[in-house]
Amino acid sequence: MTLRSRLALGLVIIAAVLVVPLVVARTSMQRLHGQVRSLREGEFQASLILGRLRDALGDVRAREVALGVVKSDTVHNQLREALGRAEALADSLDRFQLDSAARRIHRDLAVVRPATEQEFAAMRAGRGEQADSISQRTVAPALRDADLALGLVEAVLRSRTTARVLEAESALGRAEQISLAALVVALILAAVIAAWLTRSISRPVTALEEGMRAVADGELDHKLTYGADRRDEFGRLAISFQEMSRQLAELDKLKAEYVSIASHELKTPINVIVGYLQLMEEGMFGPLTDKQRQVSETIGAQARTLARLASQLLDVSRFEAGGGRIEPRTIHLSSMLDELERTFHVLAVQRNIDFRITRKPGLPDEVMWDPERMNEVTGNLLSNAFKFTHGGGIVELTAAPADGSVVIQVHDTGAGIPAEQLPHVFEKFYQADNQRSASAKGTGLGLAIAKEIVEAHQGQIRLESSVGEGTTFTLILPVSVRNRRRTSAQRATVTDTAS
């Protein structure tokens, strides 16, 4: 007797019992699917818009500060564009029942726009005190009020999201209970009919149960032991399980968005500090002595370090949320390598380290990469190499062609990394035991960001290291990369390929 015949025989007997629980289970799963879809299209989308709006407000603030320094039509036009973006994003809040916040932010931006025009006019006329007064008494309070309104909206949205998530979790629990109850009844009745029917049903039931337990424990990427291509109820349940896991994973992305907002708040005071330091160095507050200029440069370096840390947090959160974006442009590879050589030459002299950059024959003249991102990656790898290499050691960067790709290796003769720790060095906030050999303690974010940037370029990053002998990082990058935004699926694909 075929499986279909056996199932038909069993279903004839237990159909009356299974019809009701199966319908209820399917309805519960559909309701859960609808709730998660509504959450994604509502609160999730609103959260993304709020994040972009906060970025836009920060851009307005940064452009307004830059206007006081540069006083050019270009910066003035950029400020106008930033205000336009912020107003457009505020308009989109109406779709999420946040119109009161939109009106308040619009009101603040309506104060900022004419005030910045007056400020610019005063600057052009040479009335610096009047421009500073407009900035401090009108523009800055209005932007602070807009930030406050945005913070209140975020709190409301966070509360609303939490309630919706709890509701979805409750619905998931009910759906699981109903589904398991229906399956248990089916197994009991099938056992009465024949023991051989139990085997054909128990395996997918067990897989679903393990999947539900894994998801409940936070393992959102758990794979069922049977495929979703089955042409029965279990195949459909597998599809629903996969969809449920994917949507729950999107909830996890919300954490990255919150980190993004927090790190962005750090950038605002840092930008103000850097802006005033630039004014001091340009003599806006009177000439500086050599000692004062040295102190100013030291403070500026530390402020830029803080800005880099904030940017790293922002990058990590964006890439985890699937929103890491690269903007490839044409780069003269030799110029990029020359700049790296000039940048680290002073450090090499100070640390008494033999630093050299080797160019293999056949390197392309131009590559299509994101210059800022790739400078960040190579700079981070070289900084780590210098950090773990003592005086008299060697740090070498080698660039070579390889089948339509460029291979960049950063090698040092530093402390090295224990073999058991190598699989974890690209994890966020992970720091190997060799930190005690470093000249400066890191944050554990640099390599995680570097891996995300390289994979966003459709490339690979590899690591070889031996304790006491040194470390070699290898980057394999295609010569040309398209402008693209990183998604979770693409990240998984690149990771599987690299492994």
Q: How many CB atoms lie within 10 A of CB 488?
A: 17
Distance CA 435, CA 440 (A): 8
Distance CA 273, CA 277 (A): 6
Distance CA 104, CA 126 (A): 33
What mean pLDDT do residues 479-495 have? 56
Name residue, tokens 């995300």: 452
**pLDDT tens string 276-292:** 888 888 888 888 888 88
Going by C-alpha positions, the residue among 456, 106, 40, 73 that lies closest to residue 246 is 40
Name residue, tokens 């960049």: 408
Domain ranges for the chain: 3-254, 326-498
More confident residue, 100 or 145: 145
pLDDT of residue 66: 80
Going by C-alpha positions, the residue among 256, 262, 236 that lies closest to residue 317 is 256
**pLDDT tens string 145-197:** 888 888 887 787 778 778 877 877 777 777 777 777 766 766 676 566 666 66
Structure tokens at 408: 């960049």
Name residue, tokens 């229906």: 182
Query: What band does 16 get if pLDDT is binned at 50, 70 and 90?
Result: low
**pLDDT tens string 312-361:** 666 666 665 555 567 899 999 999 999 999 989 988 999 999 999 999 99
pLDDT at 490 over 50: no
**pLDDT tens string 363-401:** 999 999 999 889 989 998 999 899 889 889 999 999 999
For 467, left (φ over 0), alpha (ψ -120 to 50), or beta? beta
pLDDT at 294 over 70: yes
- How far is Cα of residue 300 from the mean position of the Cα atoms in its chain? 27
pLDDT of residue 495: 44
Most confident of 30-34, 126-130, 433-437: 126-130
Going by C-alpha positions, the residue among 52, 102, 60, 110 that lies closest to residue 80 is 60
Distance CA 49, CA 95 (A): 11
What mean pLDDT do residues 481-491 have? 53
φ, ψ for residue 120, nearest 5 deg: -65, -40
Distance CA 464, CA 331 (A): 28
304 and 274 in contact (C-beta within 8 Å)?
A: yes
pLDDT of residue 496: 44
Helix axes 195-216, 3-39, angle to 10 degrees: 20
More confident residue, 257 or 204: 204
pLDDT of residue 84: 85
CATH of domain 326-498: 3.30.565.10
Going by C-alpha positions, the residue among 354, 347, 350, 378 that lies closest to residue 454 is 378
Distance CA 43, CA 209 (A): 30
- Of all residues in the chain, what percent carry a pLDDT higher than 90? 17
